[in-house]
Structure 1
């Protein structure tokens, strides 16, 4: 590119030549100058116009500032919405913790009034004092850190409560597996121990409790467990055996009809059979036995207990019998 410069005082015309690189540099310089000029005009003129209330310029500046405030307000709302969502999630976790705490306290035997005493505010009255130190308003980052810390603590406490509740349920299930419920409502006709055999009149060990009842009377499971067998035995007649785990087995003998089959799960109080007089029996009754590791024990000790095995299984002994 060439530029010709002519003047009356000059003897000849001057010629200025520019290449593409020089033109590009000149254009960039012009853009920089215009940007700097526009910035100067904005700060020197528009801001002054906004402060002094110039008719046209102040309205333009007000629109620009309003747009900036709108963007800033939208950003704050988005952050507050995210914070509100986190707080809502924490509140839901705290509600679940409160419900779980009530269940766990009930299983552990903690009374509601004891919980109220633990959470009650300190009693008013008495001497109080100390310097007043006003709390500083936390920043957004501090709030985020606090929410994150509380969320982690809530998760940890939830896991802890779940573990404690699981252990307490295990203890409760263990007690439910102990045969301490009467299999039949009625008096005991013959207890555990030596007696005169009704057929031979000789002294013999009676290995259970006899419950006299009419044929067809319902027989209930003394505890939850798994049906071990439902076979016919020459001495016991129609015999039902229920395995309660930990070496505990209950027997229901001389039944007229068995209502469950081997492998069935039964719960405490479920009707599992009906009274009869099958096998070695002189009349309709239920012969009820409790065995620990195959050794007959006195069922009366279990029926009189409160859910715990009333003796050390390691010391269980005695004469085996039917």
Structure 2
């Protein structure tokens, strides 16, 4: 029975001989209708899902093509996603290969500076395919192969550049152990190497080094790196220092006023080791500088000239 916006339902139980009345208002009716609709929809979805799966499993007519149509969209989306990622990786691989070409070009020049054959740097590892060239969509196998070749090529370049670095380091060490640094900066050469009239005895004698006249206290720098093997007061050389540079090469610094190193010290090229003086057999403040190779005294001038030429070359490269 309906009265206004309410529904009255009377339930009669014949066995118990009694009746029960239910009163449903408008709000309760709407809630009940909503619940019923939801339950109906869920039931329909469940039924559709069961029927669809059962139809595909049992190969009912029309269900297999329908399943292919439903799943085709998902497959296409996955393939598109994979293709986009493969293309992005291929572009990145191309950039890496282009950078590898730049490294190859730089490595050839550095190898030449190190005295190594640049052709050896160009040698490709076995199976190298060169730069990845687009023309068709790249496959996973092609991408994997190209990345493997790039990895192998990178390893070979690392080994080669390590060898170049070692060679350049050896060359740098050798240069640092050759007396090419001016021992007194800016000083002119007074007496050169060779025979001259001895200023004390007046007789002709071999002058075994170069003299650098300078004020007492002027810094004296090591012409090359090495080990101090002599530091003593000599009757002729005065306060004297001898430095062993290896390969039977020794430099000597004489007549110093102050000494800042001792026997056994390891010194660096350009390190201040003493100051100009006039100790020993000397007529005025100056540095007497000698170079000995395999026990034979040499003219220091060619060594110092080589240092000046090297400095000029490096300056020109910087410009």
User: For this structure pair, what is the TM-score category when the shorter chain's length is used for normalisation?
Assistant: 0.5 to 0.7
What TM-score do you get using the length of structure 1 for normalisation? 0.60
Contact preservation (8 Å) 1:255, 1:275? yes
Give the 3 Å change call, closer, same or farther, for CA 72–135 of structure 1 in structure 2: closer
RMSD: 4.0
Q: Alpha-carbon deviation of 1:47?
A: 3.0
| Residues 6-52 of structure 1: CA deviation (Å, up to 9, x unaligned) | xxxxxxxxxxxxxxxxxxxxxxxxxxxxxxx865535744334457x
How far apart, CA to CA, are the structure 1 residues paired with 2:110 and 2:265? 30
Residue 37 of structure 2: aligned partner: none
Contact preservation (8 Å) 2:180, 2:307? yes
Give the 3 Å change call, closer, same or farther, for CA 306–136 of structure 1 in structure 2: same
Residue 147 of structure 2: aligned partner: 147
Residue 161 of structure 2: aligned partner: 161
Residue 117 of structure 1: aligned partner: none
1:141-220 alignment to 2 at 5 Å?
141-184=141-184, 185-220=186-221
| Residues 207-251 of structure 1: CA deviation (Å, up to 9, x unaligned) | 111111111001122223333332222221111122222111111
Give the 3 Å change call, closer, same or farther, for CA 207–49 of structure 1 in structure 2: closer
Residue 26 of structure 1: aligned partner: none
How far apart, CA to CA, are the structure 2 residues paired with 1:275 and 1:43? 110
DSSP-derived class of the 2:277 partner: coil
Q: Could you list the runs of 5+ residues in structure 1 that have no partner in the other structure?
A: 1-36, 52-60, 110-133, 309-322
How far apart, CA to CA, are the structure 2 residues paired with 1:49 and 1:303? 92
Q: Alpha-carbon deviation of 1:304?
A: 2.4
Give the 3 Å change call, closer, same or farther, for CA 161–43 of structure 1 in structure 2: farther
Residue 231 of structure 1: aligned partner: 232
What TM-score do you get using the length of structure 2 for normalisation? 0.60
| Residues 34-80 of structure 1: CA deviation (Å, up to 9, x unaligned) | xxx865535744334457xxxxxxxxx84x66776777788x49x85
Give the 3 Å change call, closer, same or farther, for CA 81–280 of structure 1 in structure 2: farther
Residue 46 of structure 1: aligned partner: 63
DSSP-derived class of the 2:254 partner: strand
Contact preservation (8 Å) 1:90, 1:151? no
How far apart, CA to CA, are the structure 2 residues paired with 1:290 and 1:46? 100
How far apart, CA to CA, are the structure 1 residues paired with 2:145 and 2:79? 22
